Amino acid sequence: MIEKIIKESREGVLIDIDVQANAKKNEIVGINEWRKRLSIKIKAPATEGKANKEIIKFFKEIFKKDVEIVSGKLNPQKTVLIGDIKKDEVIEILKRYL
């Protein structure tokens, strides 16, 4: 299932995520099979871009790469670009958290 939420692009790897803001801690919860997205929880509130900034920071800590939200900036369903990385590397890293 993990392969279905990740797509390779010229710039790196795209990950479809589903975000729950205002959580107790930042964490990867699992894979939402119905939405085909990686479910994550973020401490920051979903106001004034705070959750988006926290998502970028969280993913930078995990992948040690540049991170950008490429779609869904105003929505809990987002697509995140992890720069300069291969799909296989992303899968291996995510497996540690699932």
Beta-carbon count within 10 A of 40 CB: 24
Residue whose C-alpha is closest to residue 5's, from 67, 57, 82: 82
The pLDDT value recorded for residue 48 is 95
Residue whose C-alpha is closest to residue 60's, from 83, 87, 42: 83
Mean pLDDT of 70-91: 97
pTM reported for the whole predicted model: 0.95
CATH topology of domain 2-95: Conserved Hypothetical Protein Mth637; Chain: A; (3.30.1200)
Q: Any idea where the domains of the chain sit in the sequence? A: 2-95
User: Count of alpha carbons within 13 Å of 48, Cβ hemisphere only?
Assistant: 1
Asked if pLDDT for residue 81 goes beyond 90, the answer is yes
Mean pLDDT of 83-92: 97
Which residues 6+ apart lie within 8 Å of 10 measured at CB? Answer: none
pLDDT tier at 1 (50, 70, 90 boundaries)? confident
